[in-house]
Structure 1
Amino acid sequence: MAAQSGGQRTEGRPDGGEPRDESLLTVALAFAANLGIAVAKVVAALITGSASMAAEAAHSIADTFNEVLLLVGLRRSGRPADRRHPLGYGKERYIWTLLVAVAIFGMGALFSFYQGIETLTGHRRAAESGAVVGYAVLAVAFVLEAVSWQQAVRQVRAAAREEDLPLRAYIRRTDEPTSISVLLEDSAALIGLVIAFGGLGLHQLTGSATWDGVGSLLIGVLLTAVALVLGRINLNLLIGSQADPRIVADVRARLGRADEVEWVVDIVTVTFGADRVLVCARLDFRDSLSAAEVERACVRMARELRDAHEEIDEVFLEPVPRDDPELRERVIARYGRTLRPRDSEA
């Protein structure tokens, strides 16, 4: 195998600059907001006895704990490659973010369901006084959550613009789940606050605790949905997803246009960290080339790919015959057809 490996790059960008700093700011701001909100909600839940308020308190405690997990993930995933981990620690970020999804469900959703069921079955009674305290805490929490949410939205939108993708497409394709986690958490927090306000208000207006219990159950459903979305995103990244289809298409086109290459036999791309892509390609070189010419071509093409796409961190190019039956079967099994020479489709 002829191989050309690029130097390890710092998470986010080769120069280790803005994206990681921006993620740290987003997570730190969310942590500070959630910590203050969690304390206020716990006090309000004790005063009002509201199931919805207790569910929101558990929600904020879970979110505060989650920001710690995200900060740990950012720090540990940025470690440089070493002998035991030659591709670095980029994927460790996905493990910590997956734990966030588990915590949202385990600490937030299940507790919300418990509070709601207790209230609906009559085993929990809310205090008749203290509603004003609950409203005040919810209002302040909404303002603080909105500040954190704005920062998360700003970062995600800026990243989507940089990738030239619509926001929803960026969320589906991103290999940087930290800011997405904060965005989903804060969005759920704002919606949960509205639900808690409604449950508390309807309970006060009607005198029926059913509304408070329903509010707690709805918060549990909301947190379950967020946990599932986050879990799905990080599960795909941990399994090893293909790079952005536009990068794949351009890599295939560039390799196919090389004068030394007759056929792009196979190409595999894998995301192994935030903005870090591994490219492996099997190429049928012209038979007239010498071994030294093939080696120089591999070095040149690998360098050109890394220059064209800063996300590409490692490139491995292998000369193979395009008519090998076993290799042909593997390619067809992966793509449904063999690749064509100078093929630019993703």
Structure 2
Amino acid sequence: MAEQRADRPGEHAGGAENESLLTVLLALAANLGIAIAKIVAAVATGSASMAAEAAHSIADTFNEVLLMVGLRRSGRPADRRHPLGYGKERYIWTLLVAVAIFGMGALFAFYQGFQTLVRHHGNEADPLVGYCVLAVSLVLEAISWRQALRQVRAAAHAEDLPLTAYIRRTDEPTAISVLLEDSAALIGLLLAFAGLGLHQLTGSAAWDGAGSVLIGVLLTAVALVLGRINLNLLIGSQADPRVVADVRARLAAAPEVEWVVDLVTMTVGADRVLVCARLDFRDALTAGDVERACVRMGRELREAHDEIDEIFLEPVPRDDPELRERVIARYGRPLPPEQSGTG
């Protein structure tokens, strides 16, 4: 087997790292200030919705710290024990963010909400301080949200993808995490506003409790979405289908290659892709010809796609029945003769 190794990820990775760090730092500063203000307001008003929002902001502040740790640790270079690098560690820390959102935010919001609904009463203190804190929080959260949205939109534009498609395909979950957190925070603030206002207008604390429960539902939904994104990345997802198609086309077009028998790609970190291909080379080639062809094809693939990190190219016969069976089993169905055995 001939193997080509890149010494580092793509050229654009450093810029993306810096942008992600700025997004996380801005969110951390905003959430820390908001959390302190909400705690004071929750104590002053006795509002269940405000208490739920305070827990939400505490969880978000803790989450930004987790994201910063993930950014730093996942950027370490490959070594003997981890030859493919530490890129996937970022997904573990972001998955912990999803757990924290549910465990620290959603469960507390459910507890506060149901407790208020069962008791049917709450603190009748003047909610003015609550309104003021919520208004300031909306401004600060909007600033953080705008930065996260700007980064995600720019990344989607660079990938020539719609925003929703980029969120589904991205291998960089940090900015997505901040965007989802801040989006949930903005909606949660509106729910808290509604809970406080309806409580004041009707005199019934049930509205405040309902607002807290809805905040819990919102945070649970965000936690599930984040968890699903990072679970797929941790399992090992295929590279962008456009990259896969281009890699297959380039390998098939090489003059030394008769058949692309199998092609496997996997995301191993943000902007880092592993490529493994089994190729049927022309029988007239010498071993030296195959080695030089592998070196050239590896170089061309990395020049075409700077996110490609590791490349493994293996010469195989395309008519091997065991190999053919394994490839067909992976893709779940027999492939057309002209594509048989290709990924």
- Asked if these proteins are the same fold (TM beyond 0.5), I'd say yes
CA distance in 2, matches of 1:63, 1:289: 59
C-alpha change, 1:340 and 1:245, in structure 2 (3 Å) is farther
Letter in 2 for 1:14: E
Match of 1:167 among 163, 168, 191: 163
Q: 2:326 & 2:157 partners in 1: Cα distance?
A: 36
Q: How far apart are 1:16 and its partner, in Å?
A: 4.9
1:17: Cα distance to partner? 2.7
Asked if the contact 2:28–2:64 (Cα under 8 Å) also holds between the matched residues in 1, the reply is yes
- The answer for the alignment partner of 1:112 in structure 2 is 109
User: What is the DSSP-based 3-state SS (H/G/I as helix, E as strand, rest coil) of the residue aligned with 1:86?
Assistant: coil
Structure 2's unaligned 5+ residue stretches are none
Alpha-carbon distance, 1:339 to partner: 7.5
How many angstroms does 1:126 deviate by? 2.5
Instruction: Work out which of the residue numbers 263, 269, 274 in structure 2 matches 1:273.
Output: 269
Task: Tell me if 1:201 matches 2:197.
Answer: yes
Deviations 1:44-69 (Å, cap 9, x if unpaired)?
Answer: 00000000000000000000000000
Mark the CA change 1:265 to 1:339 in structure 2 (over 3 Å): closer, same or farther: farther
2:2 aligned residue: 2
Cα distance between partner residues in 2 of 1:341 and 1:91: 36
Check whether the contact 1:120–1:209 (CA below 8 A) recurs between aligned residues. yes
Does structure 1 retain, via aligned residues, the 8 Å contact 2:46–2:125? Answer: no
1:231 to 2:214 alignment = no
Aligned to 2:29: 32
Q: 1:127: Cα distance to partner?
A: 2.0
Q: Which residue pairs with 1:54 in the alignment? A: 51
Q: How far does the alpha carbon of each residue in 1:248-277 deviate from its partner, in whole angstroms, 9 at most, with x for none? A: 000000000011000000000000000000
How far off is 1:15 after superposition? 6.0
Normalization by structure 1: what TM-score? 0.96
Residue in 1 aligned with 2:236? Answer: 240
Counterpart mapping for 1:299-318 below 5 A: 299-318=295-314
Q: What is the number of equivalent residue pairs in this alignment?
A: 341
Q: 1:175 to 1:340 in 2, by over 3 A?
A: farther
The reply to whether residue 191 of structure 1 matches residue 170 of structure 2 is no
- 8 A Cα contact 2:38 2:54, kept in partner: yes
2:13/2:271 contact within 8 Å kept: no
Structure 2 counterparts to residues 121-200 of structure 1, below 5 A: 121-122=118-119, 125-200=121-196
Correspondence 1:298-337 to 2 at 5 A: 298-335=294-331, 336-337=333-334
Q: In 1, distance between residues paired with 2:59 and 2:282?
A: 59
- AA aligned opposite 1:226: V
Q: Could you give the per-residue CA deviations for residues 3-50 of structure 1, whole angstroms, max 9, x where no partner exists?
A: 2222132xxx43653110000000000000000000000000000000
- Indicate the residue corresponding to 2:212 in structure 1: 216
Q: What's the offset of the Cα at 1:340?
A: 6.3
2:45–2:126 Cα contact (<8 Å) kept: yes
Q: Note the aligned Cα RMSD (angstroms).
A: 1.4
SS of the equivalent of 2:119 reads: coil
Contact 1:260 1:285 survives alignment (8 Å)? yes
Deviation at 1:150, TM superposition (A): 0.2
Partner of residue 45, structure 1: 42
Distance 1:237 1:53 in 2: 35
Counterpart Cα distance in 1 of 2:145 and 2:20 = 13
Percent identical pairs in the alignment equals: 78
**Structure-2 change in CA distance of 1:340 and 1:175 (3 Å):** farther
- SS of 1:88's equivalent in the other structure is coil
Look up the SS of the partner of 2:280 in the other structure.
strand
Whole-Å separation in 2 of the counterparts to 1:203 and 1:235? 40
Structure 2 partner of 1:287: 283
Question: Deviation of residue 129 (structure 1)?
Answer: 2.0
Equivalent-residue separation in structure 1 for 2:128 and 2:312 (angstroms)? 64
Alignment partners' CA distance in 1, 2:122 and 2:59:
23
